[in-house]
Amino acid sequence: MLVKLSARGLRALSATSPTPFVARISENPALSESERASNLLLFPGEASALPQGFRGYLLRRAMQVSDRDNVYLLGSEHYYLRTGDVVRIDPARGSVSALYRAASRSNTFLVTERCDNFCVMCSQPPKRHDDSWLVDDLEQAIPLISSEAAEIGITGGEPALLGERLVQLLVLLRRCLPRTSVHVLSNGRRFADSSFARRIGDVKHPDLMFGIPLYSDLPEEHDYVVQARGAFDETVRGILNLKRRRVRVELRFVIHRETVTRMPEFARFVARNLTFVDHVALMGLEPVGFAKANIEALWIDPVDYKGALGEAVMTLERAGMATSIYNHQLCTLDPRLHRFARKSISDWKNIYIETCDSCHWKEDCGGFFASASLRRSKGIVAYT
């Protein structure tokens, strides 16, 4: 029986429940009985040889299946799936989505699309709907992730809008993945509530950091960028409360036309008032979402703010603060700043262009966002 694949790349070949579920991929048909219940077997052989007891089966060829339930034909766009990946299967929609890729160094979980900021350059524009199923999925996925995972990211929307559920998520991560560092992107406002910040601190996660954006030393300028009056005060109070509870905090400053002018003053403000934060990241713009829609108003060529960036970095370094430059190509930076530049773009959205092929710096250079074709710096030049 030949089966026509749905556009989402999965088709049931045998009886299956319509309820979505989360499972880990395995290519090992000899898994123990207890492990089989939480694994989907990715099977290259004949359907007649399918071992018993797996949560389900993924095949790459359509074939008759008579005596196993939960057998699916996998579309070729998902042939990248490998042992250790964690996926969400939705039989009714015929979809499979990778929640965790064992081979990737960038595994970030979106836990909500809701947000109380409305940033002019937001890469993930907020939505208001109830998306609590995202956390339901993550709670199922975490126990299936390898304990060797180096880092997990949590992002939104605004993860802190989950309230107590965020606390429980961190507890689960600490319990199931105690050696995995966790990085949460948050606007920090909800932690102005000191009791919430205390709950986060009480988790006592051994390797947790909150990345919190602050876009100016002036409250009105930060509030304009995030389109929320009073946000600056709440964010700064949130940072203070988290640090009071010994939660590590990274400040994030995205560089664009609305923030670049005060970048040196911002650095002086941080060096004077927030020296206790653990890391400061000065970041290039990712041209997706609102940043793409507002690109005319926001884009500024990195070579045109070399001086301001250099001044900001040196101010922070003199204050003894750990400082990084994210999302910049080395050729657009003053060479004195190369030691601060990190390869920060997630692997699945990171590209290099033809010019880079002959460049000696390519190995150390962070390259481009795949979405960055809208605007490229006039300073891109290969070092040969």
Is 143 or 379 the residue whose CB approaches ligand SF4 more closely? Answer: 379
End-to-end CA distance of the chain: 57
Question: What does the binding site for ligand SF4 look like in residue numbers (CB under 6 A)?
Answer: 329-331, 352, 355-356, 359, 361-362, 365, 367, 380, 382-383
Is 183 or 375 the residue whose CB approaches ligand SF4 more closely? Answer: 375
Helix or strand (DSSP H, E) at 237: helix 231-244
Burial class (CB in 10 A: 0-12, 13-18, 19+), 336: exposed
Which residue is listed with tokens 């891109």?
A: 380
Q: How far is the CB of 368 from ligand SF4 (least distance, A)?
A: 7
Is 172 or 382 the residue whose CB approaches ligand SF4 more closely? Answer: 382
Q: How far is the CB of 352 from ligand SF4 (least distance, A)?
A: 6
Q: Classify 311 as helix, strand or coil.
A: helix
Q: How far is the CB of 374 from ligand SF4 (least distance, A)?
A: 16
**Backbone torsions φ then ψ of 82, nearest 5 degrees:** -140, 170
Is 9 or 302 the residue whose CB approaches ligand SF4 more closely? Answer: 302
Q: How far is the CB of 384 from ligand SF4 (least distance, A)?
A: 9
Contact 164, 119 (CB under 8 A): no
Contact 223, 231 (CB under 8 A): yes
Q: How far is the CB of 109 from ligand SF4 (least distance, A)?
A: 29
Is 226 or 331 the residue whose CB approaches ligand SF4 more closely? Answer: 331
Structure tokens at 153: 């990211």
Query: What span, in angstroms and rounded, lies between the C-alpha atoms of 279 and 55?
Result: 43
Using CA atoms, how far residue 78 sits from 39, 55, 68, 110, in Å, is 17, 18, 22, 20
Is 110 or 380 the residue whose CB approaches ligand SF4 more closely? Answer: 380
Is 10 or 365 the residue whose CB approaches ligand SF4 more closely? Answer: 365
Q: How far is the CB of 24 from ligand SF4 (least distance, A)?
A: 36
Q: How far is the CB of 363 from ligand SF4 (least distance, A)?
A: 8
DSSP notation for 130-172: --THHHHHHHHHGGGS-TT--EEEEESS-GGGGTHHHHHHHHH
